[in-house]
Structure 1
Amino acid sequence: MLKFYYNKRSPMARRVWRGLLEKQIEFEPIVVNLNGDQMAPEYLELNPFHHVPVIVDNGFRVIESLAILDYLEAKYPAPALIPKEPQQKATVKMVQLVSSNELLPKAISFIFKEPDSPIYIQAKQHIHTVFQFFTTTLGENLYFGGETLSLADIVAGTDIYLLAKSGFNLSEYPKLNDWYERLMEREAWVHTQLSTEEFEQFKRVFLIIQTRKIRQASRT
């Protein structure tokens, strides 16, 4: 059986968790506590970069959420989460990359920086640009890949979830807001939502990890 190493509070892990549930893949969940378990020698053998998620499928290990989602789609093709039509397929990959490279870093700044700081203000402006792009890309479709859920929706929806939990007002983007609410009603998404306390724990753990990284960098 496929083994899924994760922590519920990790947005990267929730991407894969939702992918597994949406594709109805049977798996063994293995919780990695991010207060030190990720640094254990046996876990570092799986992921030397001490991140979650990791999957091990019949002895084959995959790290990095986007790579895992691609693997799951190739290995377990039904139900399909990547369209076959070339333009739709490109759109799905494009949205995944924009969400990962443009949205998520700015979402982190929005959550953790002071509202009057230049970094926060710039992040909010950049998020607005991303949301305008997403609105245009979505068009009149139910999902980014057309009328059915795709990997783009899983990745972008999981990243936007962080902003929604932090009080970002999605109602200024009606089409995107409708799409997001549609996602939140799906069984896999209801099952993987964070409570308010779990979200606060995510923020505390994130700050601890970032502090460790800064200290380690200062020693080198």
Structure 2
Amino acid sequence: MALTLVHAGLSPYGIKVKLILLEKGIPYYLEKALPWNLEDHPRRQVPVLRDGKDVVVDSRIISEYLEDKYPKPSLWPTEPLERARARTVMDVVDTHLEAINWGLGELYTFQRAGGPSTPLHKSMVAASKDQTARFFTWLSTQLSDDPASPYFGGAVFSITDCAVVSQVIRSVGLGNVPAAGSRLAKWWSLVQRRPSVKKVLEEELQEMSASRAGAGGAIKALNDGAFKREYRDHRLEWMIRTGGISIVAEGLSKGNIRFVPDDVFEKGGKL
């Protein structure tokens, strides 16, 4: 029975899992869903992996589940220290770099700062470019010049590489590209040749284009209360330290931002 990946367009965490499934050659069905409608995730988040009647949630847990259940080809380095380093990089991109890209979506797509002409929008975008460049510099230090070990997993294109790809796709789509000649730029050029990355990159660029085209409707839906954007911990941190505390206050006032639903653990259910 094929697995089902529940995914929302442009979710980097879903992109990460798609890449892992493709790299391992695991057949799967793709089901698109709105995160706040997901009853089988305790935080109402994508991705969700359905394996028959069983459900696995959270992209990192899903990644480890797939590695355990389908160990070949392995997407982890063999040495414990290399694995620890790879997990550290994944933690950074899954939290801090993701928060920047998500925050830019708040500014560009949902115009939370009032649109491109406002001082707040301009200052937050400028800060995000500097922040992204700093993370890209750090990511370059985590790569080797050794042609035999070109990935974040060393010689292995790893789960961490899948995580970094998922965020760099978003960064590049938002106009933040790795510095020319940097190790990260060389890595980005290399990984784009992989069939899995080519496929996902094509799909996500189409999603980005559709997102831009539907930006007006998205803003109206948000203002009408049709959905709420999730301000999970690292995203909230980014918004406040980058100058957007007024955005948080306005979102709370309007009721169009959300945290973990209060009733989420009252309903029970099998995980």
Q: TM-score range, shorter-chain basis?
A: 0.7 to 0.9
CA distance in 2, matches of 1:218, 1:101: 19
Q: Match for residue 199 of structure 2?
A: 191
SS state of the match for residue 138, structure 1?
Answer: coil
Are residues 8 and 187 of structure 1, via their aligned partners in 2, closer, same or farther at CA, if it must alter by over 3 Å? farther
Q: Match for residue 186 of structure 2?
A: 178
Contact 1:73 1:81 in 2 (8 A): yes
SS state of the match for residue 117, structure 1?
Answer: helix
Contact 1:109 1:119 in 2 (8 A): no
CA offset at residue 120 of structure 1? 2.1
Q: Match for residue 4 of structure 2?
A: 3
Q: Indicate whether 1:101 and 2:95 are aligned.
A: yes
* One of 169, 177, 191 as aligned partner of 1:161: 169
Q: Match for residue 212 of structure 1?
A: 228
Contact 1:12 1:52 in 2 (8 A): yes
CA distance in 1, matches of 2:257, 2:188: 40
CA offset at residue 172 of structure 1? 3.4
CA offset at residue 10 of structure 1? 2.2
Q: Structure 1 unaligned runs (5+)?
A: none
CA RMSD between the two structures: 2.8
CA distance in 2, matches of 1:82, 1:192: 20
- The alignment of Structure 1 onto Structure 2 pairs a total of residues equal to 213
SS state of the match for residue 192, structure 1?
Answer: helix
Contact 2:48 2:57 in 1 (8 A): yes
CA distance in 1, matches of 2:68, 2:204: 32
SS state of the match for residue 128, structure 2?
Answer: helix
Contact 1:131 1:173 in 2 (8 A): no
CA distance in 2, matches of 1:53, 1:124: 27
SS state of the match for residue 82, structure 1?
Answer: coil
Amino acid at match of 1:154: C
Are residues 163 and 60 of structure 1, via their aligned partners in 2, closer, same or farther at CA, if it must alter by over 3 Å? same
Q: State the TM-score, normalizing by the size of structure 1.
A: 0.83
Percent of aligned positions with the same letter in both sequences? 23
Deviations 1:9-55 (A, max 9, x none): 322211111111111112232233x4xxx555xx42x2254332111
CA distance in 1, matches of 2:101, 2:161: 17
Q: Match for residue 125 of structure 1?
A: 130
Contact 1:111 1:163 in 2 (8 A): no
Larger Rg: 2
Amino acid at match of 1:69: S
Amino acid at match of 2:131: H
SS state of the match for residue 56, structure 1?
Answer: strand
Q: Indicate whether 1:145 and 2:150 are aligned.
A: no
CA distance in 2, matches of 1:195, 1:67: 23
Q: Structure 2 unaligned runs (5+)?
A: 108-115, 230-250, 263-271
SS state of the match for residue 144, structure 1?
Answer: coil
CA distance in 2, matches of 1:206, 1:68: 29
Q: State the TM-score, normalizing by the size of structure 2.
A: 0.69
Are residues 10 and 3 of structure 1, via their aligned partners in 2, closer, same or farther at CA, if it must alter by over 3 Å? same
Q: Match for residue 31 of structure 1?
A: 32
Q: Match for residue 22 of structure 2?
A: 21
